[in-house]
Chain A
Amino acid sequence: SAVISQKPSRDICQRGTSLTIQCQVDSQVTMMFWYRQQPGQSLTLIATANQGSEATYESGFVIDKFPISRPNLTFSTLTVSNMSPEDSSIYLCSTMTGRYTEAFFGQGTRLTVV
């Protein structure tokens, strides 16, 4: 299993600013993912955070808006840049401890942009 800690749990930010969300896993993992969940909606995959290389972004998400770091096998950050009210969502970190195994999710970061 894997336990994921996300920081901050929530924040209220001014438009035009940036917020960096941290994701810490209690064990070394190969795969880490970042999701966005807009109000009342399902989860949308933003990107796969690759250790030692650039993140792999899903269609509709770009590195300039959502830069991701993955410095080691237990930690990743997602930055939401130049925020607008449309970025108000819950952002979730996820991991799998290996292929064919279950995924684990953090509790999420609830972001409100005003």
Chain B
Amino acid sequence: DAKTTQPNSMESNEEEPVHLPCNHSTISGTDYIHWYRQLPSQGPEYVIHGLTSNVNNRMASLAIAEDRKSSTLILHRATLRDAAVYYCILRGNVYNTDKLIFGTGTRLQVFP
């Protein structure tokens, strides 16, 4: 499984933008970049995913480097509810590898 590297922790103040980086230098051409987050005492929840182009949804934006070896999850205005562990995961599109393998993730702290 292709691996991702994320900082162990990051901090932000409320209402400021947050940029969460992820390195995936061994990504293959068919791997999608997925982001999930896990709020305290909850199961993970989907945030966003992309292949090559930058992506936006109501929760966040995903910026993907041109060589696809890194990506950044952008929370435009952090709230206290965004405090969670954020996981960057590479997901293959081959049926028998279509499973999520979690790395260590980035613990985001948001201060009032």
Give the tally of cross-chain contacts (CB within 8 A): 47
User: In this assembly, does A68 line the interface, its C-beta being within 8 Å of a C-beta of chain B?
Assistant: no
Task: Name the prevailing secondary structure of the A interface residues.
Answer: strand
| Complex contact A45–B87 (CB within 8 A) | no
- Measuring CB to CB, which residues of chain A are less than 8 angstroms from any residue of chain B? 4, 31, 33, 35, 42-45, 48, 92, 94, 96, 99-100, 102-108
Contact of A100 with B101 in the complex, beta carbons under 8 Å: no
Q: Is the CB of B36 within 8 A of A42?
A: no
Q: Is A107's CB under 8 angstroms from B42's CB? A: yes
Q: Does B13 contact A (CB under 8 A)?
A: no
Does B111 sit within 8 A of A, measured CB to CB? no
- Shortest A4–chain B CB gap in Å is 8
**Do A33 and B99 contact each other (CB < 8 Å), given the known contacts A42-B105, A108-B43?**
yes
